[in-house]
């Protein structure tokens, strides 16, 4: 009963924020982040557009299906992905209803791509779009997905994967700040971050089987900075730290473990932790390490090449001497990595306990989202 009372209070607060003039978007962001998120799809239909500042009074008409599909370079791929998306529809939904929705799903995707030729379709995009379609219906979903695709998802829709990889490079620095042991274990296993790729580019829509959890996360992500999904990915890894550390320290084992996402995650506490980590270690603070992460991935291959060249041109003993020097330098480097200052992490983690209690994370995340929203230029990367 206590829960129901709390829910009623929250619903009332959400409607108060919606009806105030102008709409109290900061309050709506707080509601979307705080426990339970936006509670019902009926509320989401009203609040999600506000979080993305989409004007629902002025939605463009949907184009005719036939002209969308003729000569469309993406049509075949989209069709294939949508046909494979059966499990994204509620179990027990009648076939004809689902098929109708799948046709709408194809239309929304093709429509957004046609209107924005700078965007490139990627596999997994349909997992995000179907979530909006199921919650909002086709007209509203089209408008919101278009806004999202030109902002939050913009980096995934480049012709190359470079920016997506760059975002993935934030994962390890976040883990490092909270738990160096897990970080170093994952580095030793050379597992990389590819296990989190489908989480990131589908906003977890592809990997979570319960639709309620998916929309709860979408409430959270829509209210926050576009990098929040990578913080949430880090929190999932940290939540499983014991399993990770008990794993064989090799790439295949760790990758296998991490890519199977447990379905019974404590979503509310993970959302709250992700919000906290964002406040403690904002992207701007991690940017340097993320760039370094990208750099180290490349260096192994390039030093090997240099080495090969050198050995062709030099007498063996010079090569050996050179190698020995490099080895020493390497050891120095490893030492400096192991002793690198982790921005007074313990102070921060102590503060973190407090921010959870005070819900300060929600406020700070809201603040950063608000600073970010008006510009709506995705300057994730410094």
What's the rounded mean pLDDT across residues 86-99? 91
Q: Is residue 354 part of a domain?
A: no
Q: Cα–Cα distance between 176 and 198 in angstroms, integer? A: 22
**Predicted pLDDT at 14:** 97
Pair (171, 148) in one structural domain: no
**Predicted pLDDT at 332:** 55
Pair (150, 169) in one structural domain: no
- Judge contact between 32 and 47, C-beta under 8 A: yes
Check pLDDT > 50 for residue 359: no
> Is 161 or 365 the better-scoring residue by pLDDT?
161
pLDDT digits (tens, 9 = 90+) for 35-63: 999 999 999 999 999 999 999 998 878 87
Pair (241, 140) in one structural domain: no
**Predicted pLDDT at 315:** 40
**Predicted pLDDT at 72:** 86
pLDDT digits (tens, 9 = 90+) for 121-156: 999 999 999 999 999 999 999 999 999 999 999 999
Check pLDDT > 70 for residue 105: yes
Phi, psi of 121 (to 5 degrees): -65, 145
End position of a domain, from candidates 113, 133, 155? 155
**Predicted pLDDT at 62:** 82
Pair (100, 228) in one structural domain: no
Phi, psi of 328 (to 5 degrees): -60, -45
pLDDT digits (tens, 9 = 90+) for 325-354: 555 565 555 544 444 445 455 544 544 444
Pair (17, 118) in one structural domain: yes
**Predicted pLDDT at 210:** 92
CATH code, domain with 13: 1.10.8.1310
Q: Determine how many CB atoms are found less than 10 A away from the CB of residue 330.
A: 12
CATH code, domain with 255: 1.10.472.80
Q: Is residue 366 part of a domain?
A: no
**Predicted pLDDT at 331:** 54
Pair (7, 61) in one structural domain: yes
In which domain, by residue range, is 205 found?
A: 161-313
What's the rounded mean pLDDT across residues 357-372? 47
Residues 6 or more apart whose CB falls under 8 angstroms from that of 22 comprise: none
- Mean pLDDT, the chain, whole residue set: 82
Check pLDDT > 80 for residue 157: yes
Give the pair of three-digit tokens for residue 141. 């979903």
Pair (151, 169) in one structural domain: no
> Is 66 or 130 the better-scoring residue by pLDDT?
130
Q: Determine how many CB atoms are found less than 10 A away from the CB of residue 275.
A: 29
Check pLDDT > 90 for residue 369: no
Q: Is residue 263 part of a domain?
A: yes
Q: Is residue 341 part of a domain?
A: no
Q: Is residue 356 part of a domain?
A: no
* Of the candidates 34, 29, 26, the residue with the CA atom closest to the CA atom of residue 9: 34
> Is 364 or 58 the better-scoring residue by pLDDT?
58
- Tell me the three state secondary structure of residue 70: coil
Q: Is residue 89 part of a domain?
A: yes
Number of structural domains (the chain) is 2
Pair (66, 196) in one structural domain: no
Pair (36, 139) in one structural domain: yes
Q: Is residue 323 part of a domain?
A: no
Pair (206, 123) in one structural domain: no
- Tell me the three state secondary structure of residue 222: helix
* Of the candidates 197, 221, 193, 198, the residue with the CA atom closest to the CA atom of residue 208: 198
Pair (181, 74) in one structural domain: no
pLDDT digits (tens, 9 = 90+) for 242-294: 999 999 999 999 999 999 999 899 999 999 999 999 989 988 888 888 887 77
**Predicted pLDDT at 365:** 52
Give the pair of three-digit tokens for residue 164. 């997506």
End position of a domain, from candidates 313, 331, 357? 313
- Judge contact between 52 and 148, C-beta under 8 A: yes
* Of the candidates 96, 72, 38, the residue with the CA atom closest to the CA atom of residue 222: 38
Q: Is residue 119 part of a domain?
A: yes
**Predicted pLDDT at 382:** 30
Pair (122, 223) in one structural domain: no
Check pLDDT > 50 for residue 296: yes
End position of a domain, from candidates 313, 330, 352? 313
pLDDT digits (tens, 9 = 90+) for 193-221: 999 999 999 999 999 989 999 999 999 99
Rounded to the nearest angstrom, the gap between the alpha carbon of residue 259 and the centroid of all alpha carbons in its chain is 15
């Amino acid at each position: 009963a206590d829960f129901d009372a709390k829910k009623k209070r929250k619903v009332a607060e959400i409607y108060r924020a919606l009806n105030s003039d102008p709409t109290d978007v900061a309050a709506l962001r707080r509601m979307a982040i705080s426990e339970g998120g936006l509670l019902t799809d009926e509320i989401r239909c009203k609040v999600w557009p506000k979080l993305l500042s989409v004007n629902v009074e002025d939605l463009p008409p949907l184009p005719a299906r036939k002209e969308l599909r003729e000569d469309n370079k993406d049509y075949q791929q989209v069709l294939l992905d949508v046909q494979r998306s059966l499990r994204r529809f509620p179990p027990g939904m009648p076939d004809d209803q689902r098929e109708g929705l799948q046709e709408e799903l194809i239309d929304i995707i093709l429509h957004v791509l046609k209107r924005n030729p700078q965007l490139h379709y990627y596999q997994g995009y349909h997992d995000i779009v179907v979530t909006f379609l199921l919650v909002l219906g086709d007209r509203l979903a089209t408008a919101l997905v278009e806004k999202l695709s030109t902002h939050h998802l913009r980096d995934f829709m480049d012709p190359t994967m470079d920016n997506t990889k760059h975002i993935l490079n934030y994962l390890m620095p976040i883990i490092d700040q909270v738990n160096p042991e897990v970080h170093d274990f994952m580095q030793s296993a050379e597992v990389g971050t590819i296990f989190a790729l489908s989480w990131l580019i589908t906003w977890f829509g592809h990997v979570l089987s319960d639709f309620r959890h998916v929309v709860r996360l979408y409430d959270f992500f829509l209210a926050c900075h576009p990098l929040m999904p990578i913080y949430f990915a880090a929190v999932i890894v940290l939540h499983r730290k014991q399993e990770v550390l008990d794993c064989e320290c090799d790439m295949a084992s760790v990758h296998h473990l991490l890519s199977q996402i447990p379905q019974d995650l404590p979503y509310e506490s993970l959302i709250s932790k992700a919000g906290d980590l964002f406040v403690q270690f904002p992207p701007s603070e991690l940017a340097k390490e993320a760039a370094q992460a990208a750099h180290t991935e490349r260096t192994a291959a390039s030093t090997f090449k240099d080495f090969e060249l050198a050995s062709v041109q030099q007498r063996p003993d010079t090569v050996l001497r050179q190698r020995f020097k490099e080895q020493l330098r390497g050891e120095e480097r490893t030492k400096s990595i192991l002793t690198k200052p982790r921005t007074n992490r313990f102070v921060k983690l102590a503060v973190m306990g407090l921010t959870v209690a005070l819900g300060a994370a929600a406020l700070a995340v809201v603040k950063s989202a608000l600073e970010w929203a008006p510009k709506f230029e995705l300057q994730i990367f410094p």
